[in-house]
Structure formats: C-alpha cells, structure tokens
Amino acid sequence: MPMSVRKALHNLYMVIMKLVVFFSPDSRHRVFAGSGSSAQLCEHIARTGVTKVLVVTDKPLRELGVVDQATAALAGTAVDVAYYDGVLPDPTFDQVAEGAALARSHGSEAVLAIGGGSSMDAAKIIAASATSDMAPADWVGFGKVRHEVLPIYAVPTTSGTGSEATIGAVISDATTHQKGIISGGTLLPLAAALDPDLITGLPPHITAATGMDALTHGIEAYIGSWERGSRSEDSRLAIKLIFDNLATACRDGDNRDARNAMAMAAYYAGMAINQVNVGNVHAIAHQLGGKYGIPHGLANSLVLPHVLEFSREETATRLAELAQLIGIGSPGDSSDALSRQFIEAVLALREEVGIAGTSDKLKKKDFADIALAAIKEGATYPVPRLLDRESVDRILDRIAA
C-alpha cells in the first residue's frame, strides 16, 4: 500500500479514536505517595467497606516479604485477604483465568495488585473476568470491557510501566506469545500507592530496565501527534526526574529520594501515555517481547534511540525542547543540533545504567514477521511518522548482536 494512502488512513483512524476517547466516560483516580503510602492505601480500601480482597502478585515478591509489608495495614482490619501469586513476566490469559477463578471462589469484592507491570496488568483483567463470562481475549482493543468490574487498586514495586495510572493492560496468548492490548476506562485503578519503601530492594539491572521503560513512555507521549490534557506537562516531569535520578537509583538502591523520584516519574509517564498512548518504540518492542521473551523495559531501551532517529525530522522541535529541559546544548544551538544531542543523551544514560545496545536473541529469519506486526501496531498509535519495512529492518539490524 502506498505511503500516501497509509498516511490518509492513519489520519482517519486517529480522528475516529479522538472521538471515541472524547465521548468515553471519565474515570476517578487517586494516588497516595511517599514513605508508608501503601499503608494509607490499605486503610483507604478498608474504609470503602469491602470485606474480601484478592491480592494479585508474583511468588518472588511473596517470598521476599514485600507483599506482607505492603498489606500489613490490612492485618488489623476485618478485610479477608486471598492471594493469587501465579503471575509471571508477560502474563497470559491462562493466568488471568486462574486468578479470576480464585476471585470468584473467594467472593472477592476488590482486587489489589502488588508488583510490576505484569502483576498490575493481570490484576486489571482478573478484576474484569471475575464479573463476566466473556473470554478476555475478546476484549483486545479499546473500550470493549463495558461491564462493571471489581474495584482495582495498585501498589507498584517497580518504577517503569506506569500501569497504576493507565487504562490499559497487556496480556499474552500462551501458545502464540502474541501480546494483546486491552484498554478502557473501567480498567483504571481507583487508587494507587507510590511507596519508595517497597522499591529499595530492586536490583540495579531491573531498576535500569524499568527506568528506561518509563523514559520511553515519557518521550513517546511528548513527541506523539496528539495534544491532549496534561500530556506535555506530565511527560516533561517524568523525563526530567528520570535523567536526574535513574543513575543514582541504580548505583544506590537505598537512596529514598532517588527511589521516590523514580516512582513519581513512572507515575507521571503513565499519566501521559494514558492520555495519548505510546508509539513506534512499543510497536517494535512488543514484538521482541512476544517473539524472544525480552523483558519489556529492555526491549524499549534497545529500540528507543533508533526510533527517535527514524522520526527525528518530524520531531526535531520537540526533541530540542527535551534537550533544553535536561540541561544540554549551548545557547544558539539549532533544533536539529539539539535533537541530535538529546538522542545522544538517551544513549549515554542507557550506557551509564548498564544496558547493552544489542541482543543476541534476535534472528534475521524473524525480521519480516516482526516488521509486519510492528508496522500494523504502529499504525494504531498517534505516531509522528509511520513505520515502513525498510526502516524496521534497519533498526533490527542495528540492535541484533
């Protein structure tokens, strides 16, 4: 299909999506932040009157005692807590089914996610599945979860996905490993806790990968073609916090100030993409995760600088603004020069936090399938430039070890 036709169809799709979003009902959301905020959230949940809560998490967090720490404030209440700890990286519809079955048998009246993006995404669809007989796979897309779901609450234990602030969830097919994005206002957590006390034990490599994930969210929201809500302000807050604090959080995991800043950064970035969605970095990274099991944050960090270069001509002004935001460049530098310097700063940060620029998991024989899937997904986002086969192949060549 000629690029001119693809652009016209993309513009039409974006107009339709703007109308859908405009007429979607508003969702209420609150956040507790700072040391001890997980206790505040638990006390809030108890005050709502629910008597049975399903905690959705993973086994390592339970074994480390993080889940007990996060839910300690529920121990002295009348709330009966059940635990589903079967969530794995890149959660599947099978895991959702297991969690939903437990929620039904327990009689859960609310769902509390404790963990990273996988736990939060799984919790959202478990909450929706527990009150419906529909197959969750049928909800892939926007606005298809129209029924009342169990109230959702979230305590992120990483600073990356921002799922605590978004209406979306990514769930994979266990057989094909294809990732499906389910989104809609009913999936936004009613409240979240950004508690740095629960993040201090995060290893440096996970801190780095999740931090680069949040950076990708902030940048993609800022350079996308939609101007909506507070996306620019939220993106800028996230990006500045990450450049100022990610390296420190990786070097000194006990630094509460850096951890708190990164928790806020991930939240701001989540707020930003919740308003305007993501972009081409995610379109490619999702395929790398599905095909090779590369963790999402690492996949994003591999692809990010190359996608920024791919669309630099269309986004030079925006990238130049980000360069000035993080304090690089010289007075009088052109937007072209500043945009290049910002991409170099992204590369430098990635190197500083110890993330490689290539992966030996990529196989040349898979490039055609990856490119086609990425092009298709990218066309559903408000991207500044549509992907094409040649460009995706070039990016894949550069990140393959």
Q: What is the pLDDT of residues 202-234, one digit of tens each?
A: 999 999 999 999 999 999 999 999 888 899 999
Q: How confident is the model at residue 24 (pLDDT cuts 50, 70, 90)?
A: low
Copy the structure tokens of residue 226: 């939609």
Higher pLDDT, 201 or 345: 345
Q: Which pLDDT score is estimated for 179?
A: 87
Q: Would the CA dihedral through 295, 354, 260, 233 be positive or negative?
A: negative
Reported as a single tens digit per residue, the pLDDT across 140-189 is 998 899 999 999 999 999 999 999 999 999 999 988 888 899 999 999 99
Q: Which pLDDT score is estimated for 309?
A: 98
Separation between Cα atoms, residue 281 and residue 346, nearest integer Å: 14
Judge contact between 236 and 332, C-beta under 8 A. no
Query: Residue 182 pairs with which residues in a beta bridge?
Result: 141, 169
Domains of the chain: 25-198 (3.40.50.1970), 203-399 (1.20.1090.10)
Backbone torsion region of residue 162, taken as left when φ is above 0, otherwise alpha when ψ lies between -120 and 50, otherwise beta: left
Q: Which pLDDT score is estimated for 18?
A: 67
Average pLDDT, the chain: 94
Q: How confident is the model at residue 68 (pLDDT cuts 50, 70, 90)?
A: very high
Q: Which pLDDT score is estimated for 1?
A: 78
Least confident stretch, 5-14, 227-236, 242-251, 337-346: 5-14
